[in-house]
Structure 1
Amino acid sequence: MNLPADAAPTASAAPGATVLTARAVLFDMDGTLVDSTAVVEQVWGEFATRYGLDIAEILRTSHGVQAGDTVRRFAPSGADVVALTAELGAMERVRTEGIVALPGAADVLGSLPADAVALVTSADRVLADIRMEAAGLAMPDTAVTGDLVTRGKPHPEGYLRAAALLGVEPEDALVFEDAPAGIAAGLAAGIRTVAVGPNTGELPDGVLHIADYSTVTVTTYVDNAGVTAISFRF
């Protein structure tokens, strides 16, 4: 069921504010709900040092992308990509120091109906559970992790699967993402996408950008069709 016309982005009564309304909300994890920058930079820094690679270039292109895709891109010719990816994953799973939730993320997650929210992350389920717990955030009942998709971001598979699991059409959902690959995935899925944080890159026209969730207000209500809707005021 599509959203009514008045659910499209509109200017609110507050000057400069924007309202977006959806039936379901899909969140990326790292950089979007969870700040895991310290761990990510540490692990990839060790990988770069081992092979004499440019860490700045790795970090620039790895945000939001499955680890295996990054290893495949940067590892030396002949390297065992599967083994290296598994090694890096094992390193990430035991390093949680410095992982925190983005400001306001816990309040926003806690205000959403459980059957209308999903996590869509390039991390596998084990790492996703570890990082969400380390950040003090509840894992949504619906989660599409990297091990459940055949094509990672920027491909839209994960977001399309999450929308289907929640029983909504893409145009009735809203994505929150922090990285160019994830933003591209959300838009490719036909889902309105909100960019979060400082690592979004140059944004396509019409994509709203927020620093974090500290000023976001969430309202849940039943619309004229008797369907629960979620309104975000930015």
Structure 2
Amino acid sequence: MERNAEASTEPAAGLPAAGLPSVAAVLLDMDGTLVDSDAAVERAWRAWSAEYGLDPDAVVEIAQGVPAISTVRRLWPEWSDERVRAEAARQLDRKCLDLADVVPTPGAHQLVATLERLGLPWAVVTSADTRLATARLGQADISPPLLVTVDDVTVGKPDPQGYLIAARRLGVDPARCLVVEDSDAGVAAGRAAGATVASLKGRPADVVLVDLRQLAGMLSRDRAA
């Protein structure tokens, strides 16, 4: 199980020499960061692309890390708001029914256990709606103390609104938050919020992580120093 895995000892690329001593809260993206739902996300958008004769590879790339409604609106700017909302809702329904291979990412459970042991406030900030986020987090056996979804914002990632809301609800200055993301849109949102940003999948950020085990180890060492 992830809870028993050892933390990676590899240094994080771009990590300041002082580590992360000023982190007062950790704000985590869901899909691709805490929860491995990449295959389910890709299946949903490929199926939708086939319905409209769109290039599935291009659609999957556009959809990374942003709300479904933003993806639909970008691809079909001539559609009415009503149709865009209906198509986005249909995509969310499709995703909620496809949970078979949704699992925690490597180190996710260990990181959650570390945050709780250290008493560090944390939240999940996702471009999914509350229903889909609850379904995927439940499938991965992760229960965040605070969940901010697309239902809580007026503008989704790369806008920082979700991360600013999470920081405010946790009572922490955004500048003392660590945002953890796996998409360019998410990294941009964290940076716009004024937070330090750690990334997975090699995305350019303040800290580039191999996996969440590495972050768990970094936080543990910083608090022990």
The answer on whether the counterparts of 1:32 and 1:196 sit within 8 Å (CA) in structure 2 is: yes
Alignment of 1:188-227 (within 5 A): 188-197=192-201, 200=203, 203=204, 207-216=206-215, 217=217, 219=219
Unpaired runs of 5+ in structure 2?
1-14
Distance 2:92 2:167 in 1: 27
- Could you list the structure 1 runs, at least 4 aligned residues long, displaced by more than 3 angstroms after superposition: 75-79, 218-221, 230-233
Give me the whole-angstrom Cα distance separating, in 2, the residues matched to 1:122 and 1:193.
17
**Contact 1:220/1:231 (8 A) holds in 2:** yes
Structure with bigger helix share is: 2
Aligned partner of residue 68 in structure 1, secondary structure: helix
Contact kept? 1:32, 1:197, Cα under 8 Å: no
Alignment of 1:72-221 (within 5 A): 72-75=73-76, 77-78=78-79, 80-113=83-116, 116-137=121-142, 139-197=143-201, 200=203, 203=204, 207-216=206-215, 217=217, 219=219
CA–CA distance in structure 2, aligned partners of residues 232 and 109 of structure 1: 17
Give 1:109's aligned amino acid: V
Cα distance change, pair 193–219 in 1 and its aligned pair in 2 (3 A): closer
- The whole-number CA distance in structure 1 between the counterparts of 2:64 and 2:156 is 12
Unaligned runs of 5+ in 1: 1-8, 13-18, 222-229
Question: CA separation in 2, counterparts of 1:212 and 1:232?
Answer: 21
Query: Could you say what the CA RMSD is over the residues aligned between the two structures, in angstroms?
Result: 2.2
TM-score normalised by structure 1 residue count: 0.81
Normalized per residue, which structure has more strand?
1
More contact order relative to length (CA 8 Å, sep ≥ 6): 2
% same residue:
39
How much has 1:55 moved relative to structure 2?
Answer: 1.2
